[in-house]
Structure 1
Amino acid sequence: MKKAGILMILGSLLLLALFKFPLWNIILGAPQYPEPLGMDIYLDGIKGVNEFDIQNIDGLNHYIGMKTIPKPADMWEFNVFPTVIGIMVALGVLVGLLGFFGKVSYWWFIGWFGLMSVLGIMGMYDFNAWMTDYGTNLDPHAIMKLSNPDGTPMSYKPPLFGHEKMLNFDVDSYPHIGAYFMFVGMMITALAFFIGKKEWNKRPQKNVEKILEV
């Protein structure tokens, strides 16, 4: 399964882009800010799109009782996620090499894809849970206390995906470059499964039985 193995290796290696490019981006725009404020979420931390964006966002959040933007040391995810991605890249390359030399079947390719999908869903769930806590667990002694029409405290949770109006801010939350690299890489590994299946079925039956015994 030489073609499938090469695709598996290539798709896995594309995940390395997550160590360079942001995974997610949140932009806050308002009339009083000619330049919107933005946050880029990386595997290992959160950075402002512009130099003083994090400082300005924390300043705004102070008035309504929101927590400051967490630093890498404040969240275990920023220490664990890079390790998890590194392991998945190494595992994907190993599976691809074994597939290239005909040591494993194509099912290993889709197995890696399935595991990476589960980890991705868990990561998004954790990210959404963090934003929920960030936007709803407010300081009761905040300078500004705003409520919904029904009297309940207003939530300032940014959207997980898409656009939302929060007071006079337009908030947009979308995947960034790193997420697109990850998506393309996973699609390539899924393609490796189907190509590997075709290559596997063309192998001499004796070789297939020998590998299955292993």
Structure 2
Amino acid sequence: MNDSTGNKLSITSSLLIALAAVLFVVSIFFPWWKMVFWAPQYPEGLNIIVYPNKLDGQIDIVNGLNHYIGMRNFSEKNFPELSYLSYLVWGLAAITLLTAILRKKIVLYILIGVIVIGGILGVLDLHNALHDFGTNLSPHAPIKIAPFVPPIIGKNQVANFITHSLLGPGTYFLLAAFVLLLIPLWKDRKRK
């Protein structure tokens, strides 16, 4: 069928979009973010690993140490997003697959817009959580430290602990999926 508006995506672009849907699903099974804590007494490091549906790592040890500076516990209960985030990603994958089937540029534009907004909201949500954990310290804590905000990516030092915040493989799958969605916009830019 000839689409005179130039709104039809090529079969190759449709396949790239379908592959993006697969990568969205794959991302659910890998960590999206982690924080590694090093100190002289923990030379092997301690981890908080964040999947889209759970926390992993040495959470109990980190919580025990954070108690001394008055930081509240890291737990899935304190991150309600973990109860629904994987469902959002499954939904995103389904919409992406539908976009591949429809092969309409306008649908792809809308999908990319939704992903950009969702990504910005996700980053802001993580920043707000880190801000909340680092600045709402109990005044009754045994060790008094100045409030702090751990970075989303990068290095931070609190007392004798050096922390590194890193993106996990799941986030790289998300980013790769997003790039796959952008390629058809360039590839089919003059397609009529």
Q: TM-score, normalised by structure 2?
A: 0.90
Q: Which ranges of structure 2 fall in alignment gaps of 5 or more residues?
A: 1-9
Q: Which residue of 1 aligns with 2:174?
A: 182
Structure 1 residue 193 displacement after superposition: 2.1
Q: Which residue of 2 aligns with 1:42?
A: 51
C-alpha distance in 1, partners of 2:88/2:134?
27
Q: Contact conserved, 1:110 with 1:190, CA < 8 A, in 2?
A: no
C-alpha distance in 1, partners of 2:187/2:12?
7
Structure 1 residue 111 displacement after superposition: 2.3
Q: Do residues 57 (structure 1) and 62 (structure 2) align?
A: yes
Per-residue CA deviations over 1:7-59 (Å, capped at 9, x if unaligned) read 111112201122100001111111111210111111112110xxxx2111011
C-alpha distance in 2, partners of 1:46/1:180?
18
Structure 1 residue 113 displacement after superposition: 1.6
Structure 1 residue 195 displacement after superposition: 2.2
C-alpha distance in 2, partners of 1:74/1:192?
39
Structure 1 residue 67 displacement after superposition: 0.6
Structure 1 residue 118 displacement after superposition: 1.1
C-alpha distance in 2, partners of 1:115/1:133?
27
Q: Do residues 123 (structure 1) and 122 (structure 2) align?
A: yes
Q: Which residue of 2 aligns with 1:32?
A: 41
Q: Contact conserved, 1:27 with 1:37, CA < 8 A, in 2?
A: yes
C-alpha distance in 2, partners of 1:39/1:97?
39
Identical aligned residues as a percent:
28
Which 4+ residue blocks in structure 1 deviate beyond 3 angstroms?
none
Q: Contact conserved, 1:12 with 1:186, CA < 8 A, in 2?
A: no
Q: TM-score, normalised by structure 1?
A: 0.81
Residue type matched to 1:38 in 2? N
Residue type matched to 2:149 in 1? K
Q: Which ranges of structure 1 fall in alignment gaps of 5 or more residues?
A: 147-153, 202-214
Residue type matched to 2:151 in 1? P
Larger radius of gyration, structure 1 or 2? 1
RMSD: 1.4
